[in-house]
Amino acid sequence: MAKKSKKVQVKLLDDRVLVEQSEAEEKTAGGIVLPDTAQERPQRGVVLAVGPGKLLDSGKRGEMSIKVGDEVFYGRYAGTEVEVGDETMQIMRENDILAIIEK
């Protein structure tokens, strides 16, 4: 399932990452439909933008291990929810990301 790349007008600073959340599960594994109030906040998303990297003590920038298009897992309460255009996204630090999902 290929997703179209979105054009994002946000310039991230340091080691920050902009993540589009995946949709919340609407059904349980047993087929029970969950109301909006019972749905858990997703902990998975797609990276839409990355900053230049953390500024090191030497004055150089650290290399980012995350790139645009990566599908990632992140902590339940990681980052800050922001509105970009008409969509809600997460801005978080690179170290808030727990894993990259390999396909």
**Which pLDDT does position 34 carry in this prediction?**
58
- Residue 36 or residue 75, greater confidence: 75
For 76-99, how does the pLDDT look when each residue is reduced to its tens digit (9 = 90+)? 888 899 887 788 889 999 999 999
The structural domain count of the chain equals: 1
**Which pLDDT does position 96 carry in this prediction?**
92
What is the H or E stretch that residue 37 is in? none
Residue-wise DSSP of 44-76: EEEEEEE-S-PBPTTSPBPPPS--TT-EEEE-T
For 19-56, how does the pLDDT look when each residue is reduced to its tens digit (9 = 90+)? 988 765 566 566 666 565 555 566 889 999 999 999 88
Residue 65 in any domain: the answer is: yes
Structural domain span for residue 68: 16-21+40-101
Helices (runs of H) and strands (runs of E) counted in the chain: 0, 6
Whole-model pTM? Answer: 0.74
Question: What is the C-alpha to C-alpha distance for residues 51 and 38, in angstroms, rounded to an integer?
Answer: 34
Residue 89 in any domain: the answer is: yes
